[in-house]
Amino acid sequence: MKIIQSFWTASQDFQMNSFGWLYPRFHVIGWALSCLQLSKFYDVELYTDKNGYDLLITKLGLPYKKVHVVMDELNTFHRDFWALPKIKAYMLQNEPFLHVDGDVFIWEPFPDNLMSEGLISQNLEITTEYYSKMWDEIFPHLKFIPAEMEKYISKVNNYACNMGIFGGNDINFINRYSQKSFEFAAKNSDLHQGISGGNFNIFFEQVLLFEMMTEEKKNSAFLIQEVPLDNDYIGFGNFDEVPFKRTYLHLLGHYKRIYSVCKLMETFFINNYPSLFSKIYEMFPDEYPLLGTVNYTFSHLENKERRERFLEDARQDTYNEIFDEVYLFNRDLTCINLHPFLFECLNNDRNFNIKRIKGSIYSQEEDQAILTIRELNEEKTIIPIDEIDQLILDKAEVEKTYYSLRSEILEMLDDEAAELKDEFITMIQERLNYYLKNKLIVVYSV
């Protein structure tokens, strides 16, 4: 099956505009990572505009097998219509295909049985008041509404298809849907003049698809079988869980604007694609003002050496007490690489060492204790902690085995709480994962 992606810049400057992400650099890293992970398993074709070609092909050199420069035709539309290039890409297909969004990342091929289906999408979702409020704001400004939307408007149906991936073998239906979706958008192309038009995409893309499928008695196969609420996607940005717990991530909606998620994605990218990161570093010197002090040469070998050196220094308490950019950079590379080891140990109840590392500052804000974690480029992450966190982290100030830490915590339980031993062990394991994710500890073999 043909695998495609679409990217429309709407004549925006990628170095100045974040395209819905927290910072512009994260947008570019996301695109690069999405393509590179897909290209491990498939030949991927790109549908883009001239500016997109300049960024993804000329500047980054991403390994697309074929590139179609066709999206400049959309420049009569406002940039709020971010789903429109996807619809246009669907319209251009005359053979089975799967479109994958530029904020989707995979660590294994899509299942063969999924790829043989007539219609394919990421998952079914329940539309709640979250979508209803958007629709209520948009509805009075619409000049055209397809008849297929009637059951959504009358609240007979309350579902939509999340289209992080979309396609299939039923090209005739996909063509009908794409034409209707494009018409829905085009006949309301001035919507942005009255309101912010960004939320309209959900309706001419995802809701319309479900309504047309229902009317024509079509079924979609879903990559993900769970049916979440439209604003309740959990774990879709967990880069600390790939590939051992998750092999598919989608930074939909607010995930693109969460610093900790974007930072993990960036660190994963540096760890796995250091030479390409050098190009992104050159594009965004102002977003990496202090990285030059690290003397980084952008290689896999150097990444490995930095991780080994940091872990050894952490074990021996010989790392730089200044906690400069070198320390922070090496810490980031090390911690994200330790998640598979921690998962394997916990999953098999295997003992290992735990050691708290420096680089966070404790403070109290009203009734909440917090840790401020220093990040590269004078950025920071702030997380809440409770008494259990303080207890575990204090015990890990000196090297401690998992077995001994677990025993010490369990011995502190009263008789009533002791009956919940398994729940407390699960809690300890979850907290250790949380600490590693936030670069508060390192873990290593006994």
- Say what the pLDDT of residue 196 is: 74
Query: What is the rounded distance in angstroms from the CA atom of residue 163 to the CA atom of residue 160?
Result: 9
Mean pLDDT of 309-318: 90
Query: What is the rounded distance in angstroms from the CA atom of residue 97 to the CA atom of residue 336?
Result: 34
Task: Reply yes or no on whether the pLDDT at 336 is more than 60.
Answer: yes
Query: What is the rounded distance in angstroms from the CA atom of residue 438 to the CA atom of residue 434?
Result: 6
- Reported confidence tier of residue 321, pLDDT bands at 50, 70, 90: low
Query: What is the rounded distance in angstroms from the CA atom of residue 44 to the CA atom of residue 104?
Result: 14
The mean-pLDDT minimum among 29-43, 208-222, 281-295 falls in: 281-295
Query: What is the rounded distance in angstroms from the CA atom of residue 30 to the CA atom of residue 12?
Result: 17
- Reported confidence tier of residue 418, pLDDT bands at 50, 70, 90: low
- Say what the pLDDT of residue 413 is: 81
- Say what the pLDDT of residue 322 is: 65
Q: State pLDDT tens for residues 233-270.
A: 999 999 999 999 999 999 999 999 999 999 999 999 99
Q: State pLDDT tens for residues 78-92.
A: 999 999 999 999 999
Q: State pLDDT tens for residues 346-386.
A: 999 999 999 999 989 999 988 899 999 999 888 999 999 99
- Reported confidence tier of residue 13, pLDDT bands at 50, 70, 90: very high
CB-CB contact of 126 with 227 (8 Å): yes
Q: Which CATH fold would you assign to the domain 2-256?
A: Spore Coat Polysaccharide Biosynthesis Protein SpsA; Chain A (3.90.550)
- Say what the pLDDT of residue 386 is: 95
- Say what the pLDDT of residue 48 is: 99
Q: What is the mean pLDDT of the chain?
A: 95
Task: Reply yes or no on whether the pLDDT at 288 is more than 70.
Answer: yes
The mean-pLDDT minimum among 56-65, 188-197, 355-364, 367-376 falls in: 188-197
Query: What is the rounded distance in angstroms from the CA atom of residue 233 to the CA atom of residue 243?
Result: 19
CB-CB contact of 170 with 208 (8 Å): no
DSSP conformation letters of 399-436: -EEHHHHHHHHHHTS-HHHHTTHHHHHHHHHHHHHHHH
- Say what the pLDDT of residue 307 is: 98
- Say what the pLDDT of residue 191 is: 85
Q: If we measure between CA atoms, which residue out of 51, 40, 34 comes closest to residue 101?
A: 34
Domain with CATH 3.90.550 in the chain: 2-256
Mean pLDDT of 71-77: 97
